[in-house]
Amino acid sequence: MMNLNYEQLFEENPSPTMPISFYLEPPGTADPFARLKYLETIEISSEGEYGIGATIQNVGYGNVSKVKLQYTINDTLTSVHNFSVNLGVFETKTVYFWKKWNATLGTHAIEIELVNVNDSITDVNTSNDKATKSVEVKSGLTKRMSLFEVGTSVTCPPCATYVPPYVEMVDSIHGAIAMTYQGEFNPSGSDHPMYHFSQSAIDTRISYYGLTGWPSTWINGIGDEENGGGLHPANVTESDVYANTDTVSYINLCIEHSGINASNEASINVKLTSYEDLNLANAKLRIAVVENDIEYSVAPGSNGEKHFTSVMRYMLPNATGTVLPTTIAANTPFEVTETVTLDLETVEAENLHVIAFIQDDETQEILQANITESALSATSGTHCNWLLNNVELPQEITEVVDFNVYPTTTSSLVTIEINSDDKEAGVLNIYNQLGQRISTQTIALNKGLTKTQVNVSHLPEGQYILETISGSIAG
């Protein structure tokens, strides 16, 4: 899967319809015309019209001015089109069929084929000029948001070293949410203000994970699976964060808030919609209010930290959470509304945001999460997981025969070494700079390495392309 800037994508186009792209690229050697090597398509999150296109590359020695392409849906020819491309050697161009595909729910086979080049010249190797990809049309597909929970303490010296840069890294990556629990192992001997403000919720979450030392982190509820407990933040890399955010989900969490009333109350509604039937034996919906920016003039603990971000302040209705039904039917929303009374002498409303997440209490895995972009101080706000219309899945469909040619400059004999998976007949073709086949011969291929010599002394001086074909495999 590719890393996409989903925030920018959806700001620029709230309801994108992305093309299904088939890539026509060279297999590495020898075919003088465009060839199909990679097929790129999408898992579609909704019905509707989708464009289908192809990227073409000319790997011959002559100009390709036109190509003829066609595509079929479920073995039904849907569109045939001639494209003017004007491609020089190794140049590429992306083209789109004028007729779009009207996608319906279900699984469909899409096939695209290169029919001919320059109106009349048929590609010399048609065995790999088409490919089929299965495309599944879902009723909904969302970007999965990943929650990175951190157990930390102001009395822990390593926490001051490792937690701030870790939280900053997580919060800088789109699709990742950080939430810290400012804890204490010795509550009676501490005046830790953040801990005592949220003591019950912090103790519940620390006990839930069995935390035994600071600092510790859990990624979507999963800690150190080999040794138990949480992961040390120093052992979580940026690549780890990206790996956990580059995924999709069929669950959509929408968080809605309506501002703060005169009694300092904020109402929060969370709506869960699954685009497939959801079976949850031990799942809970948990809602947290976090404060994103806390600054103390004097460090509140012995490790010297004064600035804190993504600090959990409230959990609604509590840290235990709300039990979800064991079955939630597809496209049937399940809603929870909670009210929190804010201590605005301690917390700053403009820095408060809401996090909602679904957690399987049997495995502790978090299945989906979300966070509000606007603060609770805003008049209102609704924040849903992004509905995706494209998840790109490149797939290589052409195998390449492993072969070596030497010397590359000669006036007599060239030696060709070919590795083949089977004992079978092969074909060796030679093309000139215009892409014309000027020689062809049969080669007996052994399983494994085959070495043969070709006499090229009769050929005029110039550059030539050698192509080997073994069954349906070409190189």
When pLDDT is averaged across residues 102-123 and rounded to a whole number, the result is 75
CB atoms within 10 A of CB 164: 17
| Angstrom distance (rounded) from CA 137 to CA 141 | 10
DSSP 447: S
Q: What is the pLDDT of residue 14?
A: 41
| Angstrom distance (rounded) from CA 475 to CA 467 | 6
CB 237 within 8 A of CB 256: no
> Helices 238-245 and 157-172 sit at what angle, rounded to 10 degrees?
50
Would the pLDDT of 242 be above 60? yes
| Angstrom distance (rounded) from CA 368 to CA 431 | 56
Q: What CA–CA distances, in Å, run from 184 to 73, 152, 212, 233, 444?
A: 61, 8, 11, 18, 75
Q: Which of 358, 361, 379 is nearest to 369 (CA)?
A: 358
When pLDDT is averaged across residues 222-245 and rounded to a whole number, the result is 87
* pLDDT tens readout for residues 230-239: 999 999 999 9
| Angstrom distance (rounded) from CA 112 to CA 132 | 7
Q: What is the pLDDT of residue 256?
A: 94
| Angstrom distance (rounded) from CA 414 to CA 404 | 10
- Three-class secondary structure of residue 398 per DSSP: coil
* pLDDT tens readout for residues 78-100: 888 888 888 777 777 777 777 77
| Angstrom distance (rounded) from CA 345 to CA 264 | 11
- Three-class secondary structure of residue 95 per DSSP: strand
319 compared with 49, residue with greater pLDDT: 319
> What are the tokens at 167?
């939280």
